[in-house]
Amino acid sequence: DVKVTQSSRYLVKRTGEKVFLECVQDMDHENMFWYRQDPGLGLRLIYFSYDVKMKEKGDIPEGYSVSREKKERFSLILESASTNQTSMYLCASSNFDSYGYTFGSGTRLTVV
């Protein structure tokens, strides 16, 4: 069964900390994505990557960065966590075909 694995289901971090969210997929997918999900706002794209070491900004990249050193792994980095980054973070992957995304189970991040 194909999988997208996010390393943590729940995280609590302090304001100002550097936070790493990890995502690994085993489907040899080209594309990987990070979204955040907030009540009433749906899913908003933070960053995406269509190849190793390639990255593109999504709709809300401010305060975030990403790293893709290997095809299967896409990391989201909060350089200095703030309370307004408290959210559910969803990782997804896809190929250059029509079948859409496979999502990870999500990481619920709380910044205190």
Rounded CA separation 112/110 (Å)? 6
The residue within the footprint of other proteins, chosen from 70, 95, 110, 112 (CB under 8 A), is 95
Closest to other proteins by CB, 10 vs 69, is 10
The verdict on 41 binding other proteins (CB under 8 A) reads yes
Residue 35 token pair: 């979204």
Contacts of 70 (CB under 8 A, 6+ apart): 52
Closest to other proteins by CB, 85 vs 94, is 94
Rounded CA separation 76/34 (Å)? 7
Residues lying near other proteins in the complex (CB under 8 A): 30-31, 33, 35, 40-43, 45, 48-50, 56, 58, 90, 94-106
